[in-house]
Amino acid sequence: MFKKLSILYKENDNSALETAIKVQDWLKNKGTECIVFHSVGIFSSFNHSEIMAIQNSDAVVVLGGDGTMLSASRLIGGKKIPIIGINMGKLGFITEIPKSDLFDSLEQIFSGNYEIEERSMINAQIFRDEQVINEYLGLNDLVIGKGIMAKISDFGLIINDVYVSTIKADGIIVSTPTGSTAYNLSAGGPILYPTLKGLVFTTICPHTLSVRPLVLPDHFTIDIIISSHVRDIFLTIDGQIGLPLQKNDRVRCRIANEKTYLIAPLGRDYFRVLREKLRWGER
């Protein structure tokens, strides 16, 4: 059984906070120590001792939506610490346990009836003048897109050091299988089963209709070069962090060595998740 847990809940969400308090009381009755109790999100800040405590937990309970889970995954930093995601939001592809099933699911998990899924993470390095100026880790995706200026950009695509093409498009998405149901799906990319090993390269509104998404092995490296000078081109990781890019910047992305580990009760059916979240079969 888990002896030390951290509870992370969606920032500025009273319902998530109230539920987190109830979970803390439930864990206490189970004899489990709660070593960190903290909100998590884009604007939440953690000191070094809190981060170290989270990264030394036996597991982490996250209450929020998928965005909260993405923030928590990066905070854990690829450590082999399983996450129990409780959906306090609406869609919940990653936070699959609904709030209504919270304590039944926790009881099942604490009884040992659960499985742990290993999810790939994405690593992004940004080169400027041949120097790495920043590096990011994400669970869902890397997106290069324009800001307020409605102008097509040129992107050089290099895979495994081999030039592929220069692509005219509004932007680029490089997604993990977990992130394939996020922005990638909206842009017409394929759904990958979340435990698959691979990368998805998808263009956003390409100028040439023959440009189609690519599914690549997980050991491939993708380099994207900003080939045109367009104002307000940004790189974002998981839709939450990033930086502005310049002409000739190179973004190198690959599957990271780090992984995210998600806990789910036994018998969980991913196709039911797709059916319910995407409303398959409805008219």
- Which residues are part of the catalytic machinery? 66
Asked if 172 and 143 count as a contact pair (C-beta separation under 8 A), the reply is yes
Q: In this structure, what token pair is assigned to residue 262?
A: 């998600």
* Residue in the block written with tokens 């998740």: 273
Euclidean distance between CA atoms 53 and 51, whole angstroms? 5
Return the CA Rg of the chain.
20
Q: Where would I find the beta strands (DSSP E) of the chain?
A: 4-10, 33-40, 59-64, 82-87, 97-98, 114-128, 131-138, 141-146, 153-159, 162-169, 171-175, 199-204, 214-216, 222-226, 233-237, 241-245, 250-265
Residue 54 CB: number of other CB atoms within 10 A? 24
- Residues in contact with 26: Cβ distance below 8 Å, sequence separation at least 6, in sequence order: 103, 106
Spatial CB neighbours of 259, under 8 Å, sequence gap ≥ 6: 78, 80, 118, 119, 120, 121
Hey, is 264 helix, strand or coil? strand
Q: Are the CB atoms for 124 and 253 separated by under 8 Å?
A: yes
Tokens of residue 82, six digits:
């399983």
